[in-house]
Structure 1
Amino acid sequence: MRTFCIAGLLLAFSLGLFAQKATVVSPNRKISIELFNAQNAENGEWYLKVNYSNQEQKCEVIPQIKLGLARADQDFSNGLKFLKASKPLVIHEKYTAIHGKKSECSNQANEVVVSFENQKKSKLNIIIRAYNDGVAFRYQFPEKGGSFVVNDELTAYCMTDSTKRWLEKFNPANEGLYSSAKDGNVQQDWGYPALFNTPDKGCWYLIHEADLDRNYCGTKLSNTADKSSYKLTFPDQWNGRGLGESKPTITLPWKSPWRVVIIGSLADIVESTLVDDVSTPSVISKTDWIKPGVASWNYWSDNHGTRSYQTVCAFADLAAEMGWPYTLLDWEWDSMGDGGKLEDALTYIRNKGIKPLMWYNSGGEHTWVASTPKDRMLTHENRVEEFTKLKKLGVVGVKIDFFESEKQDMIRYYLDILDDAAKFEIMVYFHGCLVPRGWARTYPNLMTYEGVRGAEWYNNGPEFTYTATEHNTILPFTRNVVGAMDYTPVTFTNSQFPHITSFGHELALSVLFESGIQHFADRPEGYYALPDAVKAFLRNVPNTWDNTRLLDGYPGKDIVMARQKGDQWYIGGISADNMREQRKKLSFHFLPEGVKYQLTLIADGKHDKEFRTQYMVVDKASSVDVKMLRRGGFAGYLKPIK
């Protein structure tokens, strides 16, 4: 359902003032976004200011968001003349998500369109929205006809040095670590999403972009020119081995991606679906073939596992034993031996009642990785041929790796893959890729993305052994907020380098990390050796959710989260403390009134490779003390007593 109506009382305009031209207020009236002229005049430079009020206290979230675009043919920044502001609208749209943190979603906001013209009388609109959990704005060239290169986007988020921030140094695979700081003294390019806490600690906000399409490139944030100003910047020319243009070419009429700022408490950030809310609705009408689920995965425990038919069969057996619907054949399936070839393995998998997924190199000269098959996804003709084969072989999804660029040509490539895969009812997930931009709403066959430093990094060197603990407590507040995250969690044995997180910590990741296809990465014996209660938990834990609630936590320290599926709830909690045990008072205030639940609580035992399982009856008024070891954690399951 999508409706638009006039809401004159919800948006305030100050057209009599030169400086402030419009104020857009969220439906719950907690968030406002104001448009100002930097020269206190009718034309010149323009910026936005974002405010948040809660419990009678007003907080200045972002004092200035600079605006403007520079096209190759003309400028839309310095000499913009204000023309008008549209009649205010209420945006109200309900939609259902097939996978994600919440099943029933609402795109509800107040919107105004502000119109400008530059010195050449060319038009630029800025569409501004205020949501209950944030703000969004985008640029629009309403005139028809013509294609133009955009030389620069001037959007920049300005803040004071005392703003706490969690930022990840940009790299094309988006697999860095987040670092925290109270100032902008480190000056470089940063990836999305970026988390901030205002100096008065009264408000949190997360900066991202959404609804990126073929008519633009991906952007990143840079404070290289001004340490206090995070400016949107285009991809570097060296990305993708220098192929493709770093500056996008747009065709009019045109709209930019949404510039999104999620705002509020940490719970508001974690629970938000704003990135998907503002994105284009599904272009796939028939979606019953899209089936989220858990997959077994052999690469983490054996980097060459798919080369062995016996190993592939063992992981199919694991999926069957655990009741997981999928198993992934990672790289080297085209050189399989050790008792069978690809077709033999696919037959074995299908006979077990499991559905196979297969890995592909994205191909082309944009990636230095030569691993085969390299060119089967590169063109429309390649994909049609390969998807036709996969349908006959019973393969239901593809993992496509090594994109290495967010230039416009690569954005088109991503979306072309999703289009072609949907025609063959093939699910897709991307690796070595960008972070989510709301595409899972538009293409719900896009199940997940990597774009994260995940458990695979236990293969890459000793560093992740010591950084994973803190990293795991930051991701639910940052990367996983904006979309599915293929971290490949829940490992109890070791890969090439060990983990020092407790078994309880690892189990909790099955709840804390959301992914439309969730790859549980351990070897079969790692799961078979678990206590019965833990195996039962992993057999039943969902990977798509009806609701998500942040119960407690702080990025880099700890997190406790509850997720709902039907009338049942799952809880996960972890600690990053390397020195001390923690005790958490687990409250069940999120439960409905008058219903008692059986709680299965699986927490750390006496040491980090032992569990302690408890069973008890709880309700909304209950609370339970839970012990977490150093780097520890726990998971819980709540089933209503009927």
Structure 2
Amino acid sequence: MAAAALAQASLAQAQPQSQQTTSRRSQRVHMQEVQVASPDGKIKFTILPNAERLTFTVTMGNTVVIEPFPIVMKVDQYDLSSGVVFNNLERYSIDESYPWYGAHAMAVNRCNGAKLSLTHDLSFISYTLEIRVFNDGVAYRHVIPGEENASRAPDEYSAFVIPDGSTLWYGGLADGHYETEFMKKNISEVRAGEWAGPPLTFKLPLDAGYASITEANLVNYSGMGLEADGRRAWITGLGHRQPLNWPFELRYGREEAKRLAKPASIAGTISTPWRIAMVGARLKHAGY
């Protein structure tokens, strides 16, 4: 009798454990490290092996350009970058050139890329995190498929963590206009709550190189600002989070500003602009 009771008790205790081992979270495919290198092998964008929170870092040779920090991509308040199932990895390369107006008559598009197929294990939303690495920079974006008649509100809080000792040049957003005079600061002097509009350019310590943070292919999406956290991170902030400037309020009024303070909804597939860090050993290589 005692043995039978003990067996039943053991079975009862084991049952929840058995159920736990078959849960979606426990069955999640472990996130592997994904590294994409530039064609010349000098610049690398690395997704660290953490399925609980997508985290990236950028290096140039042995120099850290962007320190490890989480990616935060939200849709309708679901944090798609936290708790992910890694489905597939597709690598590719691009090598093309075409005539262009500006400082260079010929534009060159040469990079190595990767498409990470991921699924958020709470909402079951599947999406692609796409990465491209060039000889002079890195870029990433999210592509989140959706029904054409369904509207969803994206939001972003991903950050770029700048190494200690770096010197920054940037224009603020809160001093009356979206285009202000650029200021020069050491990263240690930047206070929490400061805003910058792209590009935000910085020189790495010990003359190790330069980088400039900006965005590209801004289509049907809110423009990016950068909010400092006071701990060397600049956090992506879409239009509804950015501070109201006086010229806008003067022209359109505070009520219009209140309307725009809500996240903008997008119908169908959500394709974010490319989040870019141009990188180079010298400033002229990082910024053209």
TM-score w.r.t. structure 1 length?
0.36
How has the CA–CA distance of structure 1 residues 104 and 33 changed in structure 2, closer, same or farther, with 3 Å as cutoff? same
SS of the residue corresponding to residue 285 of structure 2 reads helix
Provide Cα deviations, 1:446-481, integer angstroms capped at 9, x if missing partner.
xxxxxxxxxxxxxxxxxxxxxxxxxxxxxxxxxxxx
SS at match of 2:205: coil
| Aligned sequence identity (%) | 22
Deviation at 1:190, TM superposition (A): 1.1
Equivalent residue for 2:126, pick from 120, 123, 126: 123
Divergent runs of 4+, >3 A = 17-20, 236-240
**What count of residue pairs does the alignment treat as equivalent?**
242
Residues 413-435 of structure 1: per-residue CA shift (max 9 Å, x gap)? xxxxxxxxxxxxxxxxxxxxxxx
Q: Check 1:213–1:81 CA distance in 2 against 1; reply closer, same or farther (3 A cut).
A: same
Name stretches of at least 5 consecutive residues in structure 1 with no aligned partner: 1-16, 273-642
1:185–1:267 Cα change, 3 Å: closer
Which residue of the other structure, out of 111, 114, 117, is the alignment partner of 2:116? Answer: 114
CA displacement 1:589-613 (0-9 Å, x = unmatched) = xxxxxxxxxxxxxxxxxxxxxxxxx
Task: Say whether the 8 Å CA contact 1:237–1:245 is kept in structure 2.
Answer: no
Q: Displacement of 1:186 after TM fit?
A: 2.6
2:60 alignment partner, one of 32, 35, 52? 52
Label 1:248 to 1:31 Cα distance change in 2 as closer, same or farther (>3 A).
Answer: same
The residue number in structure 1 matching 2:97 is 94
Q: Distance in 1 between matches of 2:153 and 2:243?
A: 15
Cα RMSD of the aligned pairs, angstroms, is: 2.1
Deviations 1:331-383 (A, max 9, x none): xxxxxxxxxxxxxxxxxxxxxxxxxxxxxxxxxxxxxxxxxxxxxxxxxxxxx
Q: 1:148 aligns with which of 152, 160, 170?
A: 152
Hey, what's the Cα distance between the residues in 2 that align with 1:230 and 1:49? 14
Q: Is 1:76 matched up with 2:76?
A: no
**CA displacement, residues 72-113 of structure 1 (integer Å, 9 cap, x when unaligned):** 253313222222211x11112222113x11111111111100
Is residue 2:215 matched to residue 1:213? no
2:275 aligned counterpart, secondary structure? strand
Alignment CA distance shift 1:168-1:77 (3 Å)? same
Q: Distance in 2 between matches of 1:21 and 1:167?
A: 33
Deviation at 1:18, TM superposition (A): 5.3
Equivalence for 1:35: 47
**Residues 127 and 143, structure 2, Cα contact 8 Å, conserved in 1:** yes
Please give the per-residue CA displacement for 1:515-566, whole angstroms capped at 9, x wherever unaligned.
Answer: xxxxxxxxxxxxxxxxxxxxxxxxxxxxxxxxxxxxxxxxxxxxxxxxxxxx
1:138 touches 1:258 (CA, 8 Å); kept in 2? yes
Is residue 113–residue 125 contact of structure 1 (8 Å, CA) maintained in 2? yes
Q: What's the counterpart of residue 454 of structure 1? A: none
Shift of 1:261: 0.7
Matched-pair contact (CA < 8 Å) for 1:36–1:48: yes
Deviation, structure 1 residue 231: 0.3
Higher RCO (CA-CA < 8 Å; seq separation 6+):
2
Q: What is aligned with 2:22?
A: none
Q: Is residue 245 of structure 1 aligned with residue 245 of structure 2?
A: no
Question: Which secondary structure does the structure 1 equivalent of 2:85 belong to?
Answer: strand
Aligned to 1:176: 181
Aligned to 2:277, the other structure's residue is in SS state strand
Structure 2 regions of 5+ residues with no counterpart? 1-28
Cα distance in 2 between the residues matched to 1:190 and 1:73: 24
**Aligned partner letter, 2:56:** L
* Secondary structure of 2:67's aligned partner: strand
Q: 1 CA distance for matches of 2:106 and 2:230?
A: 41
